[in-house]
């Protein structure tokens, strides 16, 4: 148990229907156990459905739509994978803008499986090193990034992993990265959450 390492940290989870369920639920649990507050943000209101590979899984409530979400209100972003979810999210201009604003300010991003597609479409991967599900390695390389086949890759404010099999390493690295950001960020905004 990591205790309150991430107390007060606000994490946006950008996701749509047909996301790889374990890649959302396991990191979300790890973040909350470390004290972070998570918000499920999706293009459409209502509910989204996860998948376990190609089988429909559970349904989750959307906390906020992309239209309602302000990147300035979040400290970090989690991008779960799943090919259909990631393919849909990469084409959403608001999702692209959200991750651009987070990345441009140096806030941390945790990305797994097919989710780097959104970072590619947002024009963020050139010169970066990351991993992903193996089938999109060419997309990452073609966008000017260095793709490596490792369970977890840390590059500046990003942490990336390949698949649900890597979740142990991914969650540990994500909590560590987000914790480093929390330790460095100005504390003045903490007070606005209690007012």
Q: How far apart are CA 47 and CA 24, in angstroms?
A: 14
The model's pLDDT over 115-137, given as tens digits with 9 standing for 90+, comes to 999 999 999 999 999 999 999 99
Does residue 1 surpass a pLDDT of 70?
A: no
Q: Are 12 and 77 in contact (CB under 8 A)?
A: yes
CATH of domain 10-183: 3.40.50.880
Residue 137 CA neighbour count, 13 Å, CB half:
11
Q: What residue has token string 């349904």?
A: 59
From the list 28, 114, 128, 162, the catalytic residue is 114
- Please say if 114 is a catalytic residue: yes
- Percent helix / strand / coil, the chain, rounded to 5: 40, 25, 35
Q: Which ranges of 77-166 does DSSP label H, i.e. alpha helix?
A: 83-90, 93-104, 116-121, 137-142
Instruction: Quick: pLDDT tens for 14-32.
Output: 999 999 999 999 999 999 9
Name the pTM for this structure. Answer: 0.93
Average pLDDT, the chain: 93
- Lowest pLDDT segment from 23-27, 50-54, 130-134, 168-172: 50-54
Domain range list for the chain: 10-183
């Amino acid at each position: 148990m990591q205790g309150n390492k991430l107390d007060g940290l606000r994490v946006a989870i950008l996701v749509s229907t047909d996301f790889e369920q374990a890649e959302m639920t396991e990191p979300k649990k790890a973040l909350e156990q470390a004290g972070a507050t998570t918000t499920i943000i999706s293009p459409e209101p209502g509910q989204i459905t996860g998948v376990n590979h190609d089988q429909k899984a559970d349904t989750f409530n959307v906390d906020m739509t992309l239209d309602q979400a302000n990147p300035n209100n979040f400290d970090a972003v989690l991008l779960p994978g799943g090919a259909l979810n990631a393919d849909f999210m990469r084409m959403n201009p608001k999702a692209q803008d959200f991750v651009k604003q987070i990345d441009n300010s140096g806030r941390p991003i945790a990305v797994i499986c097919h989710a780097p597609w959104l970072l590619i479409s947002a024009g963020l991967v050139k010169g970066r090193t990351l991993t992903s599900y193996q089938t999109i390695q060419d997309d990452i390389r073609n966008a000017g990034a260095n793709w490596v086949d490792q369970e977890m890759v840390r590059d500046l404010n990003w942490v990336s992993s390949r698949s649900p099999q890597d979740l142990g390493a991914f969650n540990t690295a994500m909590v560590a990265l987000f914790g480093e950001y929390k330790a460095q960020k100005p504390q003045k905004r903490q007070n606005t959450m209690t007012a």
